[in-house]
Amino acid sequence: MSYRYDYEVITQWIAPGEKVLDLGCGDGSLLKHLGEVRQVQGYGVENDPDKLLACTRNGVNVIQMDMEKGLAGIEDGFFDHVIMSLSLQAMHNTQGILVEMLRVAREAVVSFPNFGYWRHRQSILNGRMPVSESLPHQWFNTPNVRFFTISDFDALCEMNGIAVRERLAFDEGKLILDEPNFLASVAVYRLGRGN
């Protein structure tokens, strides 16, 4: 089972017994972890048959759905938290899914690789697309379709009236407090509906 350090941050934001929806849940390892340490009633969403199979093997609830089409069928405000861990950059309908996430849950937790990370910038300066721990694919086989920075995402939240309740940024697992848009490879956000 894969384990990613953003899981620890996400786990801290989840209270025991919550209803949690994990979009792009992969093999279900985060939900399994949250089930064990937070006793959540969790559901994953995937659209890849191999990942549905992996979730089933891991004993995690998983619902096949094409998230690009939204989350129709899930009731408003049903979940306490909806999570999208390192998947937002692989979706076309970025704004649509953020609206849907804050429709079905009280809070959304989103993590993504920071394209503005200094190593990524250095790679571009050297004339090549970045390949790193947080962006592990080559340009020709990456599942990612959106390349954005922490500052870009902050601006998008501002533009869409999404409240950033908390933001933590990391460089290979170490918390980054200064200049996260330059020094952090991954950011994890806790988002709510703005006023």
Nearer to other proteins, 2 or 126 (CB): 2
Neighbours of 137 (CB within 10 A): 11
CB of 17 to other proteins, least distance (A): 11
Q: What's CA 116's distance to the chain center, in Å?
A: 17
Residues that bind other proteins (CB under 8 A): 19, 41, 43, 49, 52-53, 55-57, 59, 61-64, 73-75, 78
Distance separating alpha carbons of residues 135 and 40, to the nearest angstrom: 30
CB of 22 to other proteins, least distance (A): 13
Nearer to other proteins, 55 or 67 (CB): 55
Nearer to other proteins, 55 or 169 (CB): 55
CB of 12 to other proteins, least distance (A): 23
CB of 157 to other proteins, least distance (A): 28
Neighbours of 22 (CB within 10 A): 30
Going from the C-alpha of 21 to that of each of 24, 65, 76, 90, 102, the distances in angstroms are 10, 13, 13, 18, 12
